[in-house]
Amino acid sequence: MRMVKMRMVNMTDNTKTAVRLLGTAVFMFAFGFLLVPLYDVLCAVTGFNGKTAGQYVSEKAPEIDKDRWVTVQFITNNNAGMPAEFRPKQRSMRVHPGEVNTAEFFVRNPVARTITAQAVPSVSPFHAASYLHKTECFCFEQQQLAEGEALDMPLRFIVDNELPADVTTLTLSYTLFNVSQEALAVAR
């Protein structure tokens, strides 16, 4: 009799422990997905991977630092499966921190079908990424390019006054992705 009783106590203890452990497993599964937004936040805060933030809105016009010059270089790349012609209209610009600048990028669809394009930016050096603010950028939305269509796409940006002193040159790179449905299907 004693043994039967002991066994029953064990069963409830076991179930309790097992349920707790299963809960941990479920939590960790959710945690894996939680890493996705956490990673985005971390990238936005630290500029990991040269990620830039979204559209920049400032309360008041920033002060222009006329004594300092920063060179901003532009690079464009096509991702695999993107047939568009894509290039910056200026290779580099010399700008003052605080002033609003405009750069233009040329894109043309040379193929006989509509392409949906998405540009993804990256800034080097990484630790300067959060000091390059974009008030207007073609990378904020996708571009529909009909057959033969050509576009001049604008970028308006401000280099932050707080840009670390050791940074004299910023490189802004855009990679153009083909996000048309049929292109995704071909890649698979």
Partner 1 sequence: MITEHPHDSHGPDKGLMRWVVTTNHKDIGTLYLWFSFLMFLTGGVMALIIRSELFQPGLQLVQPESFNQMTTMHGLIMVFGAVMPAFVGLANWLIPMMVGAPDMAMPRMNNFSFWILPFAFGLLLSSLFMEGGAPNFGWTFYAPLSTDFGPPSTTFFIFGVHMMGISSIMGSINIIVTILNLRAPGMTLMKMPLFVWTWLITAYLLIAVMPVLAGVVTMMLMDIHFNTAFFSAGGGGDPVLFQHIFWFFGHPEVYIMILPAFGVVSAIIPTFARKRLFGYESMVYATSSIAFLSFIVWAHHMFTVGIPIAGELYFMYATMLIAVPTGVKVFNWVATMWQGSMTFETPMLFAIAFVVLFTIGGLSGLMLSIVPADFQYHDTYFVVAHFHYVLVPGSVFSVMAAVYYWLPKWTGNMYDEALGKTHFWLSFIGINITFFPQHFSGLAGMPRRIPDYALQFADFNMISSCGAFLFGFSQLLFLFIIIKTIRGGEKATEQVWEGAHGLEWTLPSPAPYHTFATPPSDLNDAHG
- Pick the closer one to partner 1 by CB: 119 or 158: 119
Least separation in angstroms between residue 145's CB and partner 1 is: 15
State yes or no: residue 75 binds partner 1 (CB under 8 A): no
- Pick the closer one to partner 1 by CB: 95 or 138: 138
Alpha-carbon torsion, ordered 124, 127, 132, 138, to 10 deg? 50
Site string for partner 1, 19-38 (x = CB under 8 A): --xx-xxxxxxxxxx-xx--
Q: Which of 182, 136, 129 is nearest to 155 (CA)?
A: 136
Position 110, amino acid = P
- Provide the 8-state DSSP code for 68: -
- Pick the closer one to partner 1 by CB: 48 or 56: 48
- Residue 143 has a CB neighbour count (10 Å cut-off) of 19
Least separation in angstroms between residue 94's CB and partner 1 is: 26
Collapsed DSSP state (helix, strand, coil) of residue 60: coil
- Pick the closer one to partner 1 by CB: 59 or 181: 181
Contacts of 72 (CB under 8 A, 6+ apart): 92, 93, 94, 95, 101, 103, 132, 157, 159, 169, 170, 171, 172
Site residues (CB under 8 A) for partner 1, limited to 49-68: 49-51
* Site for partner 1, rule CB under 8 A: 1, 3-4, 10, 13-14, 17-18, 21-22, 24-33, 35-36, 39, 43, 46, 48-51, 79, 118, 120, 126-127, 175, 177-179, 184, 187-188
